[in-house]
Amino acid sequence: DTGVSQNPRHKITKRGQNVTFRCDPISEHNRLYWYRQTLGQGPEFLTYFQNEAQLEKSRLLSDRFSAERPKGSFSTLEIQRTEQGDSAMYLCASSPPSAGYNEQFFGPGTRLTVL
Amino acid sequence: AQKITQTQPGMFVQEKEAVTLDCTYDTSDQSYGLFWYKQPSSGEMIFLIYQGSYDEQNATEGRYSLNFQKARKSANLVISASQLGDSAMYFCAMRDGYGGSQGNLIFGKGTKLSVKP
């Protein structure tokens, strides 16, 4: 399978706990994006990387959220001190430089439930 | 600020008929890209079609075509010969800037399409 992969697929946690998600992009896709999707809404942009550099962060990304892509390959998204409002699907996408990064390939998502 | 509006929360279509899903956008940029994605119940976002703001012809990909009307700022998706497997959420999205200068996509709220046998 050469698509974008995300782990875990589902995560249930208690309020106040920290969680970490992982995204493995398609090989040679140097751009990687994180989005959050709540029920009944379209995905909302959180942040993106070009190689290991984090180029843009949304104001949705509070100081409890941190994302890394240390070697320009996989990325992690950590949420500290989770709140019930963090319950959502977290989507990762990657994009190649060909055709100006026009196409973003999405992974299956990690569904977070905060109790 | 950029904004995508999808006014149809849900649509029904008979199998084998064509259906149009509406999308309007708002941007002050001259160059931008418009996208449609499909999200089945499994949750994965599937890229369908792309239209650049300077493209003079409407984009087509198999049974999907994008009816791009720049002056009206609309980018409707037309699905021809609907199939039962087309039942899903459909999202219109926009990215500002060409050449990858801006990374993120802005999505609408989506339209749920149901294909009836």
Per-residue pLDDT at B29: 84
- Contacts for A19 with CB less than 8 Å, ≥ 6 apart: A11, A13, A78, A79, A82, A112
Over residues B27-46, mean pLDDT: 90
Q: pLDDT band for B59, please (50, 70, 90 cuts).
A: very high
8 Å CB contact of A43 and B107: yes
Is the model's pLDDT at B97 over the cut of 60? no
Q: pLDDT band for B74, please (50, 70, 90 cuts).
A: very high
Among the listed residues B112, B88, B117, B87, the one whose alpha carbon sits nearest the alpha carbon of residue B16:
B117
Q: Return the residue of A nearest to B99 by Cα.
A: A100
CA of B102, closest CA in chain A: separation in Å? Answer: 9
8 Å CB contact of A44 and B107: yes
Between chain A and chain B, how many beta carbons pairs sit less than 8 Å apart?
A: 63
Which tokens sit at B103?
């990374």
Q: Return the residue of B nearest to A48 by Cα.
A: B103
Asked if B58 and B37 count as a contact pair (C-beta separation under 8 A), the reply is: no
Q: Return the residue of B nearest to A106 by Cα.
A: B45
8 Å CB contact of B108 and A103: no
Asked if A57 and A100 count as a contact pair (C-beta separation under 8 A), the reply is: no
Chain A partners within 8 Å of B4 (Cβ): 42
Is the model's pLDDT at B101 over the cut of 70? no
8 Å CB contact of B42 and A41: no
Is the model's pLDDT at B100 over the cut of 60? no
Q: Distance of CA B112 to CAs A48, B38, B41, B89, Å?
A: 28, 10, 10, 4
* pLDDT averages per 10-residue partition of chain A, 115 residues: 90 97 94 93 92 85 92 94 96 85 88 97
Per-residue pLDDT at A58: 84
Per-residue pLDDT at A57: 82
Residues of chain A that touch chain B, judged by Cβ-Cβ distance less than 8 Å: 31, 33, 35, 40-45, 48, 50, 55-56, 58, 89, 91, 93, 95, 97, 100-109, 111
> Measured between alpha carbons, how far is A36 from B48 in angstroms, rounded to an integer?
20
CA of A39, closest CA in chain B: separation in Å? Answer: 10
> Measured between alpha carbons, how far is B117 from B115 in angstroms, rounded to an integer?
7
Q: pLDDT band for B99, please (50, 70, 90 cuts).
A: very low
Task: Give the number of other CB atoms < 10 A from CB of residue B108.
Answer: 23
